[in-house]
Chain A
Amino acid sequence: MLRYPLAALFVVATLFPLAWTAVAGFKSKTEVVATPFQFFPEVWQWDNYSRMLADEAFLRSLGVTFAGAVLFAALSLVVNSLGAYVFARLEFAFKRTLWVIVLTTMFVPAIAIMLTSFIVVTQLGMLDSLTVLVIPGAASGAQVFFLRQYYLGLPTALEEAAQLDGAGPWKIFTRIFVPLSKGAFVVVGATSFLAFWNSYIWPVLTITDPSLFQVQQYLATFRSDRTSEMALLMAGSTLAALPVIVLFLIFQRQIIAGVRLSGLK
């Protein structure tokens, strides 16, 4: 049957560019651009990896991006899950109007508001700080939508019992919904973390202080400034991709199930 060769082809074609990046990180400076091309290095050397791991600017960018990504994921979870719960369960004035507004924000393309968002964060004095990366994108119509769908699928029996005992919305949310949301929270938290880690355009516009450079900024700057050190850049790219790949592998079951939930269901 053709199935298994085809499956192997899928795996190889998908992973090849990344595998090659990791392997190229073990090559010498000249070997990575040598003709004729060679997939494996003549001599495997750790030099590029150890140099990157000793590069303070690179390590700082990893640390700053990691800290920002954790804060961003946490803030996204709080803001969007509260919103999702309210739209899923509470009755209040202007509910439909507000829901339509939240949905509408899903369709606003980033580029259309890029410049005016930049004006806002400039006026708020947020430039060149972690807040400009963490706060503006945390509220997300798409995540509210995803979490609301999840909450609509939860049975109401528990909260009705709690209501009879006099529990209000805050208590019901923190005591019943949050504990039941683990799977959905993993999806929202992980996707927020990934989005933050991989973001490039917004940091380029708002961060000029090299001590706050995000990891993608560091890599792109490296690529344009140090064109003769491609093997080193390959090692750096591998190290920068590793955390998100590991994060994905840890939570792959929930994230893949989340794609199913957010897709068309």
Chain B
Amino acid sequence: MRRRRDTGVALLMLGPLLVLLGIFVLWPLLHAVWISFSTWSFYEAPVFVGLENYVNVLTDEEFSASVMRGLAFSAMVVPTQVVIAFVFANLVKSVSGRVATVLKVTIYIPVVVSEVIAAIVFSLIYAYKGGLLNWFLGLLGAGEDTAWLGETATALPAVAVPAIWIGTGLASLIMLAGLLDIPEVYYECASLDGAGAWTKMTRITLPLMKNIILFLLVTGFAASLQFLVVPLVMTQGGPLDSTMLPNLFIFRHFTNDLYVGYSIAAALLLFVVLGAISAIIFRLVRSEKAVDG
């Protein structure tokens, strides 16, 4: 038995949602697509230019450099996060309830603290003079102090650390939820057959966690390519563009350029690909348990 159709009242209740999404997401999206095919500034009527903006983006070495930098940044951040999350989840599962709660709460606290504060705190940790990191390395016997945010070789890894600090909490809790979903019976049976911890890990845990790990890699990848606030506050992309990640590159063009078609084309280009990848993976992972709407 299914209920009658209530189109009128349904649309009324949906009204606020649809109006807000329409005005502040869908219309801006369509408008952005249109602007990406034109020369457009706040002061002039737009002129259709076809693919010119896209060609400019794709042939701009600064843009491709920022994308490569973004990939390098992702390669530092995402695997580290996933490995930490995996260790964390297994640890939480193996300790008593109270310790588990403390761990879960603790790991999530950086998620609720703002990126601006993270940027402020970490830049002071990296400070050349009186910074905590140089002091700590000095204790370990390192001779020279390093200006972590001032040198092109160290600035990007130095921005990656707060990114890991901020993002690991969410990944860890999702990993834990997946780990706790594996029926305990599997492990008990394996123990009866004489399987050791390593066999259980490689034959039960990892295969069953495959989807979750994939999900975390993809969402982590998407999130790390969109990382913006920390490098903006910490380094403004410097020194010598060494922390100019893709979103920051686009953001700088937004705020500096008179004609914004270029930066919008860059944003769309980058994220159509990224969004498509995430959406596909999202569907694949979810389809196994989807509740039909």
**A interface with B by C-beta (< 8 Å):** 3-4, 6-7, 10-11, 14-15, 17-18, 20-21, 24, 32-37, 39, 78-80, 82-83, 85-93, 95-96, 98-99, 101-102, 105, 107-117, 119-120, 135-139, 141, 144, 148-149, 152, 163, 168-170, 173, 194, 197-198, 200-201, 216, 219-220, 223, 230, 233-234, 237, 240-241, 244-245, 247-249, 252, 255-256, 259-260, 263-265
Contact = CB atoms under 8 A, between A and B. Distances in A.
B165 to A, nearest CB: 7
Interface stretch (B21-29, B48-56, B148-156, B194-202): B21-29
A107 B278 contact: yes
Interface in B1-33: 2-7, 9-11, 13-14, 16-18, 20-21, 23-29, 31-32
B173 A91 contact: no
The 6 lowest CB-CB distance pairs between A and B, nearest first, are A37-B135, A139-B20, A198-B114, A116-B28, A83-B17, A92-B10
B24 A82 contact: no
Interface residues of B, number: 97
Contact of A120 (B28, B131, B267, B289): B28
Contacts of A260: 173-174, 177
The residue among A3, A96, A116, A137 with the most chain B CB atoms within 10 A of its own CB is A116
B113 A112 contact: no
B212 interface: yes
Given A18-B109, A109-B274, A149-B291, A234 B25 contact: no
B187 interface: no
A90 B16 contact: no
A235 B114 CA distance: 15
Given A139-B20, A256-B105, 17 more contacts: A10-B106, A37-B131, A90-B13, A91-B3, A92-B6, A92-B10, A102-B21, A109-B267, A111-B250, A111-B251, A116-B32, A223-B233, A237-B121, A245-B112, A248-B109, A264-B285, A265-B177
B21 A14 contact: no
Interface in B109-147: 109-110, 112-118, 120-125, 127, 129-132, 134-136, 138
A68 to B, nearest CB: 14
A14 B121 CA distance: 13
Given A10-B107, A108-B29, A113-B32, A82 B274 contact: no
Contacts of A78: 16
9 contacts: A3-B94, A17-B118, A99-B293, A109-B271, A112-B264, A114-B254, A200-B116, A245-B109, A256-B104
A216 B174 contact: no
Interface of B: 2-7, 9-11, 13-14, 16-18, 20-21, 23-29, 31-32, 35, 87-88, 91, 94-95, 99, 102-110, 112-118, 120-125, 127, 129-132, 134-136, 138, 165, 169-170, 173-174, 177-178, 211-212, 215, 226, 228-229, 232-233, 247, 250-251, 254, 260, 263-264, 267-268, 271, 274-275, 278-279, 285-286, 289, 291, 293
A220 B116 contact: yes
Contacts of B232: 201
A100 B264 CA distance: 24
Nearest to A230: B124
B117 A241 contact: yes
A200 B114 contact: yes
